[in-house]
Amino acid sequence: MFIQTEATPNPAQMKFLPGQPVMPSGVAYFSNEITAERSPLAQRLFAIEGVASISLDKDSITVTKADKWDWQALKTLALAAIMNHYTAGDEVILENDTTDLSEAALTDPDADVEVIANIKDLLDSHVTPALADGNGTAVYRGYRDGMVILELTGAAKNLRHNIEEMMRHYLHEIDGVMDLDDMTPKPGLETEEGRAIRRL
């Protein structure tokens, strides 16, 4: 098994590509060992001292390190953890997942309360009125690592990029907007639920 690595614009992050599927769809984010209980892969990575957070998507694993650590040692340890996971044949996400999607769970404990208040004000003053005619909604659900997490419904799902551009224009502290639905793992096609969906 050959695992590729890619640098990211954020020097605290590194992307690992194992050459095989990671998530069936969507994105899973883990900010600590507690939230990683539903992912054996994330648990292995959090066992490495210096790992601050982990993000999983369709074909890659993005690891964020703590400030005082460097990649020289962490990269080797992360590669070994990912290799061990796939060699063991463990699940990436446990099928009986009960993800905590409360606002508290989706918000950094040290997030700036003023920034969060400004995000909510902007949603009320600009986003909600703009979506009113299109039968869509954008509800604040959390703020983590510079990303605003919104529950998007209806027409708003197709306007996520527009909402993100507008929010970044007014609030320079935020890096982007994420749809809550993308944080919820979808059933794999070979699970019982996935096979049921294919039969529909």
DSSP code string of 26-45: S-EEESSTTGGGG-HHHHHH
Residue 198 has pLDDT above 70, yes or no: no
Confidence of residue 6 (pLDDT cuts 50, 70, 90): very high
- Domain total of the chain: 2
Q: Is residue 63 part of a domain?
A: yes
Q: What is the pLDDT of residues 10-44, one digit of tens each?
A: 888 899 999 998 987 767 778 778 778 788 999 99
Percent helix, strand and coil across the chain, each to the nearest 5: 40, 20, 40
In terms of residue numbers, what domain contains 125?
A: 113-183
**Mean pLDDT for the chain overall:** 82
3-state secondary structure 50-69: CEEEEEECCCCEEEEECCCC
Q: The CATH number of the domain where 135 resides is what?
A: 3.30.300.130
Size of the chain, expressed as the number of residues it contains: 200
Considering the domain architecture, whether residues 79 and 125 belong to the same structural domain is answered as no
The pLDDT of 101-114, averaged and rounded, is 79
Q: Is residue 150 part of a domain?
A: yes
Considering the domain architecture, whether residues 127 and 55 belong to the same structural domain is answered as no
Q: The CATH number of the domain where 43 resides is what?
A: 3.30.1370.70
